[in-house]
Amino acid sequence: MAGSLYKKRFDGRTVNEVRPMKASVGVVPSADGSATFETGGTKAMAVVRGPRTLHPQHMQNARTGILRVSYGMMPFSVWDRIRPGPSRRSEEISKVCEWALDAVIDLSGFPNTVVDVFIQIPKADAGTRVAGLNAAALALAHAGIPMKEMLSAIAVGKADKTLLVDVDKAEEDFHDGEGATDVPLAFTSRKKDISLLQLDGKISPSELSEAIEMGRKACEDVLKVQMDALKGATGEKNG
C-alpha cells in the first residue's frame, strides 16, 4: 500500500481478506438444483432446471447437452431501482458465466438437452457476477449434474495502487489517483485453471499476475464455504 492513496480499507479488512461469506443449497425445493451465495452485502441465488429436451429442435446437439445461463439483478437489489428485463450488461454477464461454467460440467451423457441456470441477484454490493457463479456452481452440483471440478470465483480490485480481494461497491467507486480497477476471476477447484478473467480499469502486467495469485488464494476460502454447504452445513467464512 506504500505510495497508494488507498491505505486502509473502508471496512477495516486486510487486503487479502474476503467479506463474510455464507452459502446454502436446496433453497428452491421445486428446482432440480438451487443455491444461494452471499459475500458481505451481495447475495446471489441460482436455480437449475434440466437436463430437459431442448426446443426448438434445430438447436439441439446430438453429441451433448448444452448449458444456458441467464443472469439478472432484481429491481430492489440496489438503492436505485434496476429496470427489469435484459440489458447489454446482463447479456454479457450471462454469457461469461456460461463460458466459465462450461469448463467444469460434462453434459456428454445428455444429448439433445439443455440445462438452464437462472442467476438472480437480490442484493448487490459489487461482485455479483462472481457471487452468481459461486451460487450457480453449487446449484449444478446440488442438481447432480456431472462436474469435472468445482468452480469458485472472486473479484480482485485495485483502488489507486492497492490490490484488494473481494472489493465492495465503495471500493469499486474509488476515484482518487489511478481510480478503481475490477478483475473478476473464477478458478476450477483441482487444476486451478482460470475459467473467467475480466478486466475493467487499468492494471500493469505484474499487478495482474499478483491479482490472479490473490484471487487464487481467496478462492480456497470460497471453495471451503461451497463444500460445507454441499455437505449440508451452511457454509460460512468470517460470518
Instruction: Please select the residue that binds ligand UDP; options are 21, 107, 117, 124, rule is CB under 6 A.
Output: 124
CA 141 to chain centre: 15
Neighbouring residues of 23: CB distance < 8 A, sequence distance ≥ 6: 35, 36, 37, 38, 134, 135, 138, 225, 226, 228, 229, 234, 235, 236
Residue 19 touching ligand UDP (CB under 6 A):
no
> Which of the ranges 126-134, 188-196, 205-213, 225-233 carries the binding residues for ligand UDP, by CB under 6 A?
126-134
Letters for 140-159 (x = contact with ligand UDP by CB under 6 A, - = none) are ---------------x----
> Which of the ranges 50-58, 101-109, 118-126, 230-238 carries the binding residues for ligand UDP, by CB under 6 A?
118-126
Residue placing its CB nearer to ligand UDP in the complex, 128 or 189: 128
Size, binding site for ligand UDP by CB under 6 A? 14
Residue 126 touching ligand UDP (CB under 6 A):
yes
Instruction: Please select the residue that binds ligand UDP; options are 129, 141, 187, 195, rule is CB under 6 A.
Output: 129
Residue 123 touching ligand UDP (CB under 6 A):
no
Instruction: Count other Cβ atoms within 10 Å, centred on residue 103.
Output: 16
Burial 60-99 (b: 16+ CB within 10 A, else e): beeeebbbbbbbbbbeebbeeebeeeeeeebeebbebbbe
Residue 182 touching ligand UDP (CB under 6 A):
yes
172 within 8 A of 78, measured Cβ to Cβ: no
Q: Return the residues of window 37-66 that contact ligand UDP according to CB under 6 A.
A: none
CA distance 170 to 121: 18
SS3 content of the chain, % helix, strand, coil (to 5): 25, 30, 40
Residue placing its CB nearer to ligand UDP in the complex, 143 or 167: 167
Q: Which residues bind ligand UDP (CB under 6 A)?
A: 78, 82, 89, 124-129, 155, 169, 172, 182, 184
